[in-house]
Amino acid sequence: MKLEVKNIRKSFSGNEVLHGISFSVESGKALGLLGRNGAGKTTTIRILMDIFKADSGEILINDKKFNPRNYPIGYLPEERGLYPKKKVSEQIIYLAELRGMPSKKAKESTKIWLERLGIGEYANRNLDSLSKGNQQKVQLAQTLVCNPEIVILDEPFSGLDPVNAQILKDTVRDLISQNKLVIFSSHQMGYVEEFCEEIAIINKGKIVLSGNLKNIKKEFGKNRLILSSNDLSLNNLKVMLEDRFKDLVSVNEVKKNYLVLELFENTTKKELLQKLLEENIDIEKFSTYEPDLEDIFVKKVGGR
């Protein structure tokens, strides 16, 4: 399956908050929808789920108009909407049956998911007697109980401790390997980086970067190198480069343990290395720069 979001616009009371959002994702892949608070992630997801209508633009699945009611979708909304005073397993079974799952299967699948997410022991407890993180896992069980083909998770990691975040990461990895189509929103880059093949960064209602994460990293790292020296501090190394190497490279950034350099168009790595050796610099690190997603995000969005 291929899901395409094309040029979506949305206003609230005359104030446009999405200015033409486009991205696409296929089965067997996860797309990370990234952005700062208020960027437009949840609004985009609500439009995908047909909770809000877009003012213009379209959403297609395999080139046809997408209606979420016609597809097996698991949706974890940002506002977690289960019944606080009802028993955990009862409400998951009830919601699975509402979505058309036969009663016996709903019971089996609920049991499997509660066990798998490590909350089997709470099956007969009222939801509001569980901790926030465990309630979040109940919501996740509810999202996945019907074995959806499309999984949409709005901020699934919020409120989870590292152990539970790991359980969720393993679950998402399994979904990807079972050829599900996964979309999730987050402003936590680490999670996205671990298993998203595709990303779309939204800033102030616009996509500022989207596509295959590996390719994006390659493009960002192009012509960039890291350099540090055993005998010069980073600041002294920077001053020296800006003085004697100004025709070859520019210093892009001073990181904690190294400088990030950008080679000018006609300079090769080999040439730079030779010149550095000629200057008798005791090189500690000299390698291709591989940006992490956080670097890319900060560059594109200008802050965390």
Ligand X SMILES: Nc1ncnc2c1ncn2[C@@H]1O[C@H](COP(=O)(O)OP(=O)(O)OP(=O)(O)O)[C@@H](O)[C@H]1O
What is the contact surface with ligand X in residues (CB under 6 A)?
A: 12, 17, 35, 37-43, 78, 187
Q: Where are the alpha helices (DSSP H) in 117-225?
A: 132-144, 162-177, 189-195, 213-221
DSSP 3-state percent helix, strand, coil across the chain (nearest 5):
40, 30, 30
The residue (of 39 and 175) whose beta carbon lies closer to ligand X is: 39
Query: Which amino acid, 52?
Result: F
Whole-angstrom Cα distance, residue 205 to residue 38? Answer: 8
Whole-angstrom Cα distance, residue 188 to residue 195? Answer: 13
| Smallest separation, CB 78 to ligand X (Å) | 6
Q: How far is CA 293 from CA 247, 254, 304, in A?
A: 29, 17, 11
| Smallest separation, CB 31 to ligand X (Å) | 15
H or E segment to which residue 101 belongs: none
The residue (of 76 and 259) whose beta carbon lies closer to ligand X is: 76
The residue (of 38 and 190) whose beta carbon lies closer to ligand X is: 38
The residue (of 12 and 264) whose beta carbon lies closer to ligand X is: 12
The residue (of 35 and 148) whose beta carbon lies closer to ligand X is: 35
Q: Are 279 and 244 in contact (CB under 8 A)?
A: yes
| Smallest separation, CB 131 to ligand X (Å) | 22
How many C-beta atoms lie closer than 10 Å to residue 151's C-beta? 24
Structure tokens at 196: 């998203």
The residue (of 78 and 149) whose beta carbon lies closer to ligand X is: 78
**Residue located via tokens 């929103």:** 185
CB-facing half-sphere around the CA of 36: CA atoms within 13 A: 12
Query: Which amino acid, 58?
Result: E
The residue (of 44 and 91) whose beta carbon lies closer to ligand X is: 44
The residue (of 49 and 248) whose beta carbon lies closer to ligand X is: 49
Count of H helices and E strands in the chain?
10, 14
| Smallest separation, CB 81 to ligand X (Å) | 16
| Smallest separation, CB 210 to ligand X (Å) | 15
| Smallest separation, CB 155 to ligand X (Å) | 6
Q: How far is CA 39 from CA 23, 35, 43, 125, 224, in A?
A: 15, 5, 9, 37, 29
| Smallest separation, CB 292 to ligand X (Å) | 20
| Smallest separation, CB 184 to ligand X (Å) | 12
Q: Are 208 and 33 in contact (CB under 8 A)?
A: no
